[in-house]
Structure 1
């Protein structure tokens, strides 16, 4: 709202105390805008920073953790519900210093996200192969975010899943299933030899997505036996995703801490649907530090060759 004002109009509204007459701007926000416009740190922000200073990891600590990451194992293109072509996503990853990016568009069951049929996925593999020749030494890893079906099976053919570099398995439907049913479903998916990463395990949205009627509703966590599921991840060598999307930040801290205690490995991913979102890994790194995730247990700190050795079933 403020960015749409020219300088003179912004100055006038600050001077006449009428910023709060604009839609969505209340008294506190108006004060913060005025102070920021004067080159000051808004008092509200300063109070927050002071109050939480001891709880938030230092910026250089987060930056060092982020620097250890060599790639991102969860990203979407305009082949499913992403907004940009594969090349643009890859070039954005290169600009961030990544060595690789896993392209994980949705599987066919998720029609609302234009999930890839086996035929379309086959076509995408050819496109990725051609791009990898052009972009070397950077590497686009072939992959998929595959739906975990209600019975725990994966929503793509075994033959195709076996050809992919990285498989992120996620629950996108029946999120309100009872605890026992959801646990059985997730245990089956984690045990599948094709599954490399368990994606956004609770399915929660801490910031609701805008509905057709204009409202925004958060989505609560799915209920499952986290200790059983994370123990199965350790047993089967499946990494638990630390999803860095601001509206997900999944798993919650208490579950992430439990996964650390049980000995899980992790993938810090952005679930990016646009090039700029690939920079969201800082969110995941901050949460990893807060919950005591050892950097050596994060699988995307590995080189592409070492990662592919890990994702290839024995």
Structure 2
């Protein structure tokens, strides 16, 4: 967003220009999980204004004729006019005020995070291109960020076949050349199948920097079945992170969903023994694992990854919510693998049974 990404604590600051204001509105809308079509309207308007010549902008300012441009409606036109008048657009002010800030206890841990290990792009069910996601991650202060689009079995999320994943690796390699020293980590959110197997070829998983394994199907399996599935997955030497372990939903447009049942002591002991981090999923509708399980994982000596599971750039700012929950439940910063320098993190993910 023109080099500026708002944080979870908006401040008035100087009035932004129209392009910056429109893009920041898109950011706050994404952060609040607004409908995609609303976000796209502001992004599209920002792109349109950015592509106008100086003379074209000046002419529209004088005539206040922004609505005559295809792709700019009354709401986006009002933002443009108010920004050009030298004030913070009213809608932007409202969104800044409505943004839920990161609680004070979570701030020191958030400052220690060097990256995010669970994000999605429009290659699967995310809403934005890889480069846009990663440039926002870098602007938020990350040194690295893992791209973990879904595996093929999750067709509803446009999961990546082996061929599509290999093509994505080529795209990531090219972006890494242009975005250095920021590093895009290659990865996947691989589905844990009904028998505990992973939904991607083992040799391809071995090539990736970060593998997040998650259950997305048969969430109501009995406890013994679910426990066996999860233990089988976290014991796989290619798996680095156990994603949103209970699968619960506590709010949001998808409604609520109860936790899956499993023997948490057995699963977390497997995570500890086989070097698989337990994810603290920062999505507001997940807040997974629940506090009692998070405390149990701490007691059992697990490592953790505080991730956003972001599907849009604005959602990358949710990480502070996970930090709040980590601090509240006694997670030590040194046990959080994405507080580690890149070389330490990669040494850990590439070491079977770390």
Match of 2:281 in 1: 243
Q: What is the aligned counterpart of 2:106 among 56, 59, 62?
A: 62
1: CA distance, partners of 2:175 / 2:252: 36
Partner of 1:293, secondary structure, is: coil
| More strand as a share of residues | 1
Q: Pairwise mapping of residues 186-265 of structure 1 onto structure 2 (< 5 A)?
A: 186-210=230-254, 217-265=255-303
Q: Pairwise mapping of residues 20-169 of structure 1 onto structure 2 (< 5 A)?
A: 59-169=103-213
Q: Pairwise mapping of residues 288-307 of structure 1 onto structure 2 (< 5 A)?
A: 288-307=326-345
Q: What is the aligned counterpart of 1:270 among 308, 311, 314?
A: 308
2: CA distance, partners of 1:227 / 1:208: 29
2: CA distance, partners of 1:245 / 1:283: 8
Partner of 2:117, secondary structure, is: strand
Q: Give the Å deviation of 1:267.
A: 0.1
Partner of 1:219, secondary structure, is: coil
Q: Give the Å deviation of 1:62.
A: 1.4
Q: How many residues align?
A: 256
2: CA distance, partners of 1:296 / 1:61: 16
Q: What residue ranges of structure 1 are gaps of 5+ in the alignment?
A: 1-36, 42-57, 211-216
Q: Give the Å deviation of 1:303.
A: 1.2
Contact 1:205 / 1:248 at 8 angstroms: preserved in 2? Answer: yes
Q: What is the aligned counterpart of 1:284 among 308, 322, 329?
A: 322
Q: Give RMSD over aligned pairs.
A: 1.9
2: CA distance, partners of 1:254 / 1:209: 25
Q: Give the Å deviation of 1:59.
A: 3.8
1: CA distance, partners of 2:190 / 2:247: 14
Partner of 2:250, secondary structure, is: strand
Partner of 2:206, secondary structure, is: helix
